[in-house]
Structure formats: C-alpha cells, structure tokens
Amino acid sequence: MRRFFAPLLALGLAVAGNARAEDTLSPLHFQSDGPLGSIDKAAAQRGFLVYQTVCAACHSANALHYRDLEALGLTPDQMAGVAAGVKLADGSAATLDSPFKDPAMPASAFGGALPPDLSSIAAQRPGGAQYIYALLTGYATAPDGVTMLPGHFYNKAFPGEQVAMPPVLRDNAVTYADGTAATQSQEAADVAEFLTWAADPNLSTRHQIGLRAVIFFAFLGIVAVISKRRIWREGR
Amino acid sequence: MAETAATEAFGQGTESRRGFLTILTGAASAVAAGAVLWPLVDALNPDAQSESRARMVVNVADIAENTAKTVQWNGLPIYIRKLTAQQIAAAQAVVTDTLPDPADFTARVNAAYQNYVVVVGLNTGITCALEGNDPSDPRGDYDGWLCPCDGSQYDALGRVRSGPATKNLAIPRFTFINAAQIRLG
Amino acid sequence: MTTETKQIPCLGALCACLCAPVHKPEGKYLDTLPGLTAILLAFLTLSGLVLAVYYDPWHAFASVGFIGHEVNNGWLVQAYHATGATALFGLVYLYLFRAMLTRGYRAPGELVWGLGVKLMAVLLLVGWLGFVLTGGAAAYWSLFKASNGALALSGAAGAIGGWFFGGPAGSGTLARLELFHAVLAVGAMAVLWLLFAARRAVVPRAEPGQGVAFFPYYLAQYLVALAVFALIFSVLAFFTPHLGQPAVNALPADPLTLPLGTVLPWYLLPLAGIAQALPGIWGGILGVVGALAVLAALPWLDRSGPAGAKGGLYCVFTWVLAADVIGLGITAAARNYPQASLLLVLFTFWYFFHFLVLTPFVTAIEAK
C-alpha cells in the first residue's frame, strides 16, 4: 500500500525539498499541527539526527526500525549507513530490519527513573509535540523556596516541575546537513516533529485520504439525496 | 405540434436525467464500498517486516576463507562459503560428466564473485542440516559438506559426490549488491 | 421477474420481498438505525477478522503496534475498528434514546425494546473486552481491577469470575478474552437478528394499494443514510482516530507503574460511573445490573398504557435523563476531582429515581 500512495507522498517531498528550515519557532508551530497537518520531513530528518546523537544514548524507540526512515525521505544507502553505524548489544552492527537500538541500561543507572520508550511518546503526553518542545526548552534554575530532589532538575513544563532527565540539548549539539542553525530551540522543535512522526507515521497519509474521503462522501450524500427525492416524488 | 414535441423532449430529458442520477448514485456507492473494503484486503498482503525479511541483506565481507556463515532465511539455513584459491582450482578441474548430478563450476557460483558459494544447507536425501562450515568440522572426502544423518558427501561447490543423496545442494535466489553484501530473495 | 430469478428460489423470494409494496410510504431517516447497526456490525466483524490475523494476545501491546506500523494499511484497519466501536455505540444509544422519546417501547414494542437493551448490554461487554485487548496501560488497569474484583468474590460469583478470567490478570488472560470478544460479538449479531424479527412482527404494514416497496424507495433512503453515516465516520476515523479513548493507552501495560488518566473509553463511562458511585464490588455489580434492568423494565414502568398520550412533561424528563447520563460519563472520566464522588452519587441517584419513581408517577398522571 505504501507503493499505492507513493504519488501522494511525492507531492510532500517536493514541498519539503527546500534546503533551509523556515522559522517555525516564533511563534512556535509545527507542520503536523491541525486537522490537515502533515509531517515536515526536513524537520523530522533533522529531529532524527538529534534523536540519534543525543536521545538514543538513554532512550529506546522499539517500535521503529532503521528501514522505516525511508518514509522521512532517506535513501536506502543513507538508511544502511545509519544502521551500519549502530552497534547492537551483542557487538554486531544493526541492519535495516533492526528496531531502534535499546540502550538496555537498568533503572538504577538513572536513579530509578527509567527513561521511557520514545516510540509513541508524542501520543501519550497531553500536548504532544508542543509538550515535548516545552519540556526540552523548559529547564531553568529552581526558584527560591523549591526544594529539589537529589538528581532532579527544575523544569517548568514537567508535571511536578522536577524531572530526572538532565538538560541535554544545547546550541550546536548537532550539525545540520541542510545548514539550519542548530540552536537549542531548533533542535527541540525538530526532535518534537520527529517524535510526532514516530508516534503516528501515517499522519500525512491519514489526513490526505481523510480529506478525499470527506469530500467524496459529501458529494455522494448530495447525489443520494437528490436521487432519493426524485425516486420518491415520481413514485407517488 | 411544437408544444407536444417540447413536452416530449422535456419528458425524455427528465427520464434520462433520472436514469443518469440513479446510475451515478449506484456507481459512486459501488466505488465507495470498494474503496472502504480495499484496505481490509490489502492488509493481508505481506507486511513490511515479512517483506524486509524475505529480502534479507547479508554482509559477506567478514567471512574468512575456507569457512561458511549460516543465516536463516525463509525458514532455510543458508550457507555462504568463501572458497580458497586451491578449492576454486580443484573444483574447476573436476570432470563434471562423472558426477551423480552434473553441474559445472559456472553453474554453481556467481561469475563476478567466484569465491563465494551460496547454498541451502540441507541434505537433498533425507532432510538434515549439513556439517562442514567450519574448517574443523567433519567435511567428508571432498572438502565440502557431510550429512551427519545419512553420510552423503558434497564438495565445496555443494555438488553431491557420494551417498544416498542424488541431487546437488539447492541454490537460493540471491544477488550481489557489492563485494561486501548479498541480498537473498 | 426474469426466468433466472424464478429458477433460483432464494433469489426469487428475495426479489419478491424487496419488491413487495408493503412498507408505509412515510419512512423516517432514523428508522434506518437498526439497519445501519447491522451493516456496521458486519464491517466491524470484517475489520476484526483482519486484526485477528496479526493480533497476538501474549504480546498484545507489541502486536497492536506492529499492526499500526508494519501491516499494509494496518493503521487504517485499526481506525476502522476503533471508530467502528464509537459509531456502533453512537447508533445504539441514539436508537434507544429515540425509542424512549417516541415511547416506541410501549406495547406492542416491548419485545423489540427489551432486545435493544440486551443488544446494548452485550455490546458493552464486547466493547470492554476489545478495549482490554489493546494491552495498553489503561486497558491493563481496567482488566486488573475487574479480574481482581471478580476473584475476590466468594461462592458462585467468584467461581464464574475465575472461569471467565482464568486467574489473576496476566498475558494469558488476553488469549481467552480475545475468544470471548469474538464469540460475544457473534452473540450480539444474533440478538440484532432477533430484534429485526421482532420488529418485523410489530411494524404496521401499509394498507393494500398504499404501500411502497423496499426497492427502489427504501434503498434510496438507505443510501442517503449510509452516505451521511460514512461522512461522519470518515471525519472521526481520519481526523480523530483515538476519539474517546485514554491517551495513556498508548503506553504499554506495566504492573508496576500505573499512570494518571487511566479511564475507560467513552461508551463505557456512564455505566462505570454508576458502578463507582456504589460501594464495594457488589455495589458495582448491582449498580451495572440494576441500571440495565430498570432500562429493560421501562415498558412496564411506564403506566400510560398502549394508547396513552405522549406527555410533554415526561418528554422533558427523558431529556433530563440524557443529560444525567452524559453527566455520569463526564464525571466518571474526571474521577480524580474532589467533587467527583459526590456528583457520581447524585447522578446515579437521579438515574434510578427517574426510572423507579418519576416514570410511573409522571406517566400515570399524564395518562389521565
């Protein structure tokens, strides 16, 4: 079926082809937002780079495979290169068919707060991409009067405002191939878009087919009403 | 006269318009039903994981000479063996007509990568996994594979040489992507 | 009738049935609700069969993820099935509410009404089982509470619970619940078939010479209803595929961490609210059984008689009941708010008060 929808997706690729990211940070918005939103493939590719360089050190995403990156516009060679660069727990290199690497570290390595699997984090957390962005950019020094738990960091976006995850994103944590400036907020926004795709890889297709289905059934409804009225009027 | 003609024409107009509407409604409904049900049919096609596994990529660069690597593919043990120069020369020297199942060197290896033999590692007599992948394994008299179940012997190209088996080892469908990788299927 | 249809007896009978001008010519669009329910049940069965091909109760959450990510159009089949459940309860609730408003449950429609309530009861169980099969955090939480509650019972009830769940909630539990989900879905179709048979017996037929045939008149009407239904279904399936389901169900079940926000899907919430309002396990069970029982007993609680007037006051109270049921659902979803438990008791009280006190009195007064 992916083949079936390939022409639809090609349309998206052509739009995503522009090299440099437009400013989505002020005000913050995501191309995947809204009922007709679609995944911004360029942003999601950059987000994957952030995920792979930063997040994957502690988090797993076991619903994703390296071959799935084809949907973000990576060529088979690029995907194979990504997979070949990943060393699995048994020492062998990952293949296209491997799930994203699980760091497989015990909870004790994180003071008991095991980093969650990121496959569908955008679907689980209220706010989705907006929340992920707010969390990743929400670190601050704790205000007076807040007693911090040991090993926790003040984050105004996290429920309870104390999170065990350290602030990991900083300016130029990665270097983007498309020339986009890798500011901390750009990285956060890109990884949020990537995780939105991870949680709902069919978002763009779903919205495209949905729009067509609604238009078609509205047309069918109108034709059926006219047809029914005629049949009933002439029957009397 | 003109009036009746006009009425008739008008009557035919409504008639054909109703017919058109009925056909349009019916056709659009049929299209809708087909489009709604098609995903249910398509969902039973091979899924992405099966398709990916059916077209498995194997790295052959890490195989040492005179040893073979085993990979599981479509439920079959696939043996990929890297030949030594002597084995290639010995295999080419065999007179194929004397073999139980005659097959010459070019029929058993890829022309561009002559030092790799890719076979299904199951005895062709009674089904049984063959021994001989590692140089220290028992390989029989022909420096190939030996069946531990019925004693059939194969040479390094997987041609049957003796024993109850009468057929050469099967060769799976595969292509060389480059010198380091082959794709099965 | 052509020669072919005469030679094939079933087809001939079907044609005769479809073309017989016996239906009243003033059909309402909402009369298609049971027909739409039947079509939707068939659709849910088809999509459920496809899901069952890939679903693995021993690795439920992983296999649900696999269907969404790896199977061709698997995400769409899942959206069909989940939105189908939402739409099914929408149709059944609408059907029952309409029968209450039009008071179609009165003689000779008592049997049809009773079967409608039974259909809803079976579907509620099927819906809960389907929700539990997802293996998400909210699903596990619900299964955990239900199975532990059932096993804690003594006597026959505990034995039945033990038979149904086969011990405390574990991965093997879902294997049997998958079977119950499918078997009870077939049961729901049987109940719906009985409902159709009972309905055919009581629906008034047209006077000779006045009636219209199903084909083409009611077929055209069904097509309109189906197109509108498909339009609403598309909006739900493509733009809100997880409508009315807790977001935390996207987390895998973990017995050691139960996240906040583990609520049931929307269609179970009103009944869950009644179950929560009453104390203890037996309170919950009696609340659910009682709520369905008083609903089924409505034809006898209504004292206005078969030919009684449709009173305006009782109609208002029926709308109030609808608001009460919606209130129950909303409160059950927000059960962590401090006022929730008090509100649940109030809404539950009103539900039973409506059926057991208001209904007999108001209908009896209005019938005079």
Mutation choice for C interface testing from B36, B45, B50, B53 by most C CBs within 10 A: B36
Q: Which amino acid is at C236?
A: L
* pLDDT tens digits, A183-213: 999 999 999 999 999 999 999 999 999 999 9
Measured distance CA(C213)–CA(C215) in Å, rounded: 5
Residue C134: pLDDT over 90: yes
* B12 has pLDDT over 60: no
Gap from B30 CA to chain A (nearest CA, Å): 11
Residue B9 scores a pLDDT above 50: no
User: Can you give the pLDDT at residue C274?
Assistant: 95
pLDDT category at C258 given cuts 50, 70, 90 is confident
Alpha carbon distance A231, A225 (integer Å): 10
Provide the mean pLDDT of chain A: 85
Distance from CA of A176 to the nearest CA of B (A): 29
Q: Is the pLDDT of residue C351 over 90?
A: yes
In terms of pLDDT, which residue wins out, C324 or C170?
C324
pLDDT at residue C5 greater than cutoff 60? no
Query: From the CA of B182, how many Å to the nearest CA of chain C?
Result: 24
Confidence of residue A11 (pLDDT cuts 50, 70, 90): very low
Q: Residue C81: is its pLDDT beyond 80? A: yes
Size of interface A-C (CB pairs under 8 A): 82
Among candidates B18, B52, B59 on the partner chain, residue whose Cβ is nearest the Cβ of A67: B52
Chain A neighbours, 3+ Cβ pairs < 8 A: B, C
Query: Does the pLDDT at position B101 exceed 70?
Result: yes
Name the residue among C210, C213, C211, C272 with its Cα closest to residue C246.
C272
- The gap between the terminal CA atoms of chain B, to the nearest Å, is 77
pLDDT of residue B125: 87
Interchain contact A228–C (C-beta under 8 A): yes
* 3-class secondary structure, B100: coil
Q: Please give the pLDDT value at position B11.
A: 46
Pairing of strands B68-73, B57-59: unpaired
Say if C251 is an interface residue toward chain A (CB within 8 Å). Answer: yes
pLDDT at A9: 33
Determine the Cα–Cα distance for residues C368 and C354; give it in Å rounded to an integer: 20
β-strands B116-120, B57-59: how paired? unpaired
Q: Which has more pLDDT, C233 or C155?
A: C233
pLDDT of residue A6: 35
Q: Which of C55, C73, C226 to mutate to test binding with chain B, by most B CBs within 10 Å of its CB? A: C73
The pLDDT of residue C308: 65
Of the candidates B18, B25, B49, which has its C-beta nearest A224's C-beta?
B25
Q: Do the chains contact at A235 and C217, CB–CB below 8 Å?
A: yes
pLDDT of C215: 82
Chain C from 163 to 182: CB within 8 A of any B CB: none
CA B45/CA A49 separation, integer angstroms: 32
The 8-class DSSP code of residue A87 comes to: B
> Six-digit token pair at C217?
């008149």
Q: Which residue of C has its CA nearest to A197?
A: C69
Chains with ≥3 CB–CB distances under 8 Å to C: A, B
Q: What is the pLDDT of residue C6?
A: 54
Contact across the interface for C73 and B42, Cβ inside 8 Å: yes
The pLDDT, as a whole number, for residue A20 is: 53
Alpha-carbon distance B17 to nearest alpha carbon in chain C (angstroms): 16
pLDDT in tens, A43-84: 999 999 999 999 999 999 989 999 999 999 998 888 888 888
Residue C307 is predicted with a pLDDT of: 66
Taking the C-alpha atoms of residue A86 and residue A93, their distance in angstroms, rounded to an integer, is 6
Q: Which residue of C has its CA nearest to A35?
A: C239
- Test the C interface: residue of B40, B51, B53 with most C CBs within 10 Å: B40
Burial (CB count within 10 angstroms: exposed 0-12, middle 13-18, buried 19+), residue C364 = middle
Above pLDDT 70, what percent of chain C?
96
Q: Measured between CB atoms, which of C46, C216, C230 is closest to B40?
A: C46
Nearest to C77 among B39, B45, B48 (CB): B39
Q: How far is C278 from chain B (nearest CA, A)?
A: 43
Which of A31, A11, A37 has its CA nearest to residue A203?
A37
C-alpha C24/C-alpha C208 separation (Å) is 10
Pair of tokens at residue C42? 């068939």
CATH number for region A6-127+168-235: 1.10.760.10
How close, in Å, is residue B57 to chain C by CA atoms? 19
Q: What confidence score (pLDDT) does residue A12 get?
A: 34
Give the highest mean pLDDT range of A85-89, C153-157, C302-306: C153-157
- B-C C-beta contacts closer than 8 Å: 46
A174: which 2 tokens?
A: 């990665």
Identify whether the C-beta of residue C311 lies closer than 8 Å to the C-beta of residue C366.
yes
Cis peptide, bond prior to residue A27, ω within 30 of zero: yes
Least confident of A126-135, C101-110, C200-209, C355-364: C200-209
What mean pLDDT comes out for the span C147-162? 90
Separation CA C367–CA C106 (nearest Å): 13
Q: Using CA coordinates, name the residue in chain B closest to A214.
A: B32
> Which chain C residue shows the shortest CA-CA distance from A97?
C70
Instruction: Calculate what percentage of chain A has a pLDDT beyond 90.
Output: 50
User: Please, which residues 76-95 of chain A have a Cβ atom closer than 8 Å to chain B?
Assistant: 80, 93, 95
- Beta carbons of A207 and C234 less than 8 Å apart: no
B47/C54 Cβ within 8 A: yes
Find the residue in B nearest to A98 (Cα): B49
Q: Of the ranges A174-188, B68-82, C131-145, C184-198, which is most confident?
A: C184-198
Q: How far apart are CA B133 and CA B71, in angstroms?
A: 12
> What whole-number distance in Å separates Cα of residue A131 and Cα of residue A163?
14
Find chain B residues with C-beta within 8 A of C80's C-beta. Answer: 39-40
Task: Write the ipTM.
Answer: 0.90
Per-residue pLDDT, B13: 55
**What's the alpha-carbon Rg for chain A, to the nearest Å?**
22
Kindly state the average pLDDT of the residues C67-71: 93
For domain C22-249, the CATH class is mainly alpha
Average pLDDT over residues C13-30: 82
Q: Report the pLDDT value the prediction gives residue A16, as an integer from 0 to 100.
A: 43
* Domain extents in chain C: 22-249, 265-368
Given an 8 Å threshold on Cβ–Cβ distance, is C72 in contact with B42?
yes
- Answer with the residue of higher pLDDT: A111 or B119: B119
C234 in contact with chain A, both atoms CB, cutoff 8 A: yes
Chain A residues lying within 8 Å of C72, measured CB to CB: 1-2
Q: Are strands B174-178 and B181-184 parallel, antiparallel or unpaired?
A: antiparallel
- pLDDT of A112 > 90? The answer is no
